[in-house]
Structure 1
Amino acid sequence: MANYSELMAQAQSLMAQAEQARKAELASVVAEIKAKMKEYGITAADLGGVGGKKTAKSKSSAPAKFKGPNGELWAGGPGRKPEWVRNVLASGKSIEDFRI
């Protein structure tokens, strides 16, 4: 049976592999989305994106204290942690490495 440090090393390796797979698949996923948007005449505004009337306001008025690997911001308040924070912690890293 593997010990804790071996399992953590395996988990970190798997997280790195998963991130590489995500990045490799990202371009084709974006291309698919753009093609569907063109096919159906959908704009970013229809999706509530930039320039749309349905833009989401941040739930927190607190300034960001942490910046994720892809530029995500988090104030570090109570409540559910963002997915990127959960992934960082699951990989054995410290959230303090991402403090702004």
Structure 2
Amino acid sequence: MADINLDDLSLKELKALQSQIAKAISTFEERRKRNALSELEDKARQYGFTLAELTGTTVPRKRASPGAKFVNPDNPAETWSGRGRKPRWFENALEAGKSVDDLRV
């Protein structure tokens, strides 16, 4: 590393250097992790595997939406999957004499 004579720098240059050092310190651990991960992925690839295959970790899949099972007869834009709390329109329709089958999609 090159020696820097701090006495030769202006206040503006010293503050810029201080800012650069603070940033380098705060990101040091993250850079080391990224480098280690990259090396491990390269090594796994050399053996014909992915790192996820070797560690048994996978990216979690997003669950598919359950889809609508019931629709509001007064407003078809309002639907309910049948999971969770019953929407007010669903309960109001039942109280008004509709059956659950009347509300099915």
Q: Normalising by structure 1, what TM-score?
A: 0.36
Query: Does 1 or 2 have the higher relative contact order (CA < 8 Å, sep 6+)?
Result: 1
Q: Larger radius of gyration, structure 1 or 2?
A: 2
Q: Normalising by structure 2, what TM-score?
A: 0.34
- The structure carrying a bigger helix percent of its residues is 2
